[in-house]
Structure 1
């Protein structure tokens, strides 16, 4: 009986160790954006509902998949977010139902994930980039702030949303 019990315990230890080694996306870096997972109602600063977002991990925890639906405009979009261990950074590819797309790169700093696009030039010849930050708030909400930052100009806010988890 004791030998059987020891065999079972030893077998469980081996299975657990093997499972942990086979998880390619389970490092702390890969979990840095996990605070965004969930099913959310998103509000504007005035409290009006902006839309709904479902964020799940797919592909054995290697991708954080976002599905967005605007509250009123029929606008939808999907983002795929992943930690690129070769480049030591997070990457996002956003694609929407209007044909738009956005590629962002960055990392977590404190309680924020901060991603930005490559620089481009506007019609005035000034360089600009888009930056989106997600702040993990103490109350369980997440603030998403999307900005356009242009040299020699004021920063413009494109979106400021507060994600509140649905129960």
Structure 2
């Protein structure tokens, strides 16, 4: 019996490791931001180039990694976007080459992903927060619309970009 237990344990371990791993991030909710995956050319509302963005899936598809570079190459940033199953919402953590960071949280609503920051206090002592909305368009493009809302009513557009897929 003492000889059989190690053999059985080894056999069980080998079978366990040889099975296909389960997909931990395959639900529709966890794929809700997949419309943003790809290589993009981003333009401003006047049609001028804003920059280039590459969004890839990493960590077995559980994280979307964004890598942004502005049109002149001077501004870059990276974000990690993931569905937090503990809070049941999407989160983005953005960090740029200026040393700035932004943490956003939110949900998909129809053809839009809407994420917003916690509230901050500006230099004038007024509360404000950031809200970024990604909208999928019928032609496959994506609009990213970034607003800063002060005092709950005063809206300033920080960025308005149209993402078009790069052609191969």
CA contact (8 A) 2:38 2:56 kept: yes
Q: Deviations over 1:60-87 (max 9, x none)?
A: 0000000000001511000000000110
Looking at structure 2, the residues matched to 58 and 166 of structure 1 have their Cα atoms a distance apart, in angstroms, of: 20
- Going from structure 1 to structure 2, the CA distance change for 1:152 and 1:65 (only over 3 Å counts) comes to closer
Query: Is 1:141 the counterpart of 2:141 in the alignment?
Result: yes
Structure 2 SS opposite 1:22: coil
Q: State the partner residue of 1:70.
A: 70
Q: State the partner residue of 1:43.
A: 43
TM-score of the superposed pair, with normalisation by structure 2: 0.85
CA RMSD of aligned residues (A): 1.3
Q: State the partner residue of 2:61.
A: 61
Q: State the partner residue of 2:116.
A: 116
- Going from structure 1 to structure 2, the CA distance change for 1:150 and 1:28 (only over 3 Å counts) comes to same
Q: State the partner residue of 2:31.
A: 31
CA contact (8 A) 2:39 2:166 kept: yes
- Flag the structure with larger Rg: 2
- Going from structure 1 to structure 2, the CA distance change for 1:152 and 1:134 (only over 3 Å counts) comes to closer
Q: How far did 1:152 drift?
A: 5.9
Q: Report how many aligned residue pairs link the two structures.
A: 149
Q: State the partner residue of 1:127.
A: 127
Q: How far did 1:153 drift?
A: 4.9
Structure 2 SS opposite 1:108: strand
Q: State the partner residue of 1:89.
A: 89
TM-score of the superposed pair, with normalisation by structure 1: 0.86
- The unaligned stretches of length 5 or more in structure 2 are 1-18
Looking at structure 2, the residues matched to 130 and 38 of structure 1 have their Cα atoms a distance apart, in angstroms, of: 24
CA contact (8 A) 1:133 1:146 kept: yes
CA contact (8 A) 1:126 1:152 kept: no
Looking at structure 2, the residues matched to 78 and 152 of structure 1 have their Cα atoms a distance apart, in angstroms, of: 28
Q: Deviations over 1:69-121 (max 9, x none)?
A: 00015110000000001100000000011111100000101100000000011
Q: State the partner residue of 1:14.
A: none
